[in-house]
Every structure is written in C-alpha cells, then in structure tokens.
C-alpha cells in the first residue's frame, strides 16, 4: 500500500494537539501544538548529520501541508 507523503492525525486523549505524520523516509510525527518531533527511524551518526540539514525543510513542509488541508475545509 502506498501512503501520501503527509497524513493528519488526532487523538481525543490529546484534544489540543495537531499531529502531522511524515510517512516517507525519514518518517516522523510532529505535534504542531508544541513543534515536538518524534522520529520513527533509527539513524547512524552519518545519517544524523544529513538529517539535521533536511529536518528543518521537512518540518516546514509538514506545517505547509497542515495549512493547506485546513484551508480546504474552510472553503
């Protein structure tokens, strides 16, 4: 099964949290309420250096995805 790049998630146990799941490598979940990121991959030291430069861009994409999705509901 192929997943979209980003997915929205919510949970009634966290009523104010807004989760965006990045479903492609490197997989992560970001809580847009507090910008906390949980990586779903194990990284080597070499990967961590590359990830640092890419992470900011991926998190910006996740936020833009959320904004786009919300705007579609508002129209």
pLDDT at position 28, please?
96
Rounded to whole angstroms, the Cα distance separating 49 from 69 reads 31
pLDDT at position 12, please?
95
**pTM of this prediction?**
0.87
Does residue 17 contact residue 31 with C-beta atoms inside 8 Å? yes
Sign of CA dihedral 9, 18, 67, 36: negative
Going from N- to C-terminal start, the domains of the chain cover: 6-74
pLDDT at position 75, please?
65
Residue pLDDT, tens place only, 52-62 = 878 889 999 99
Report residue 39: phi and psi, to 5°.
-80, 140
Residue pLDDT, tens place only, 4-36 = 999 999 999 999 999 999 999 899 999 999 999
């Amino acid at each position: 099964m192929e997943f979209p790049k980003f997915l929205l998630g919510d949970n009634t146990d966290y009523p104010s949290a807004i989760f965006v799941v990045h479903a492609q490598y490197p997989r992560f979940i970001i809580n847009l309420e507090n910008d906390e990121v949980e990586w779903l991959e194990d990284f080597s030291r070499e990967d961590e250096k590359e990830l640092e430069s890419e992470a900011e861009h991926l998190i910006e994409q996740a936020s833009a995805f959320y904004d786009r999705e919300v705007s579609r509901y508002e129209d």
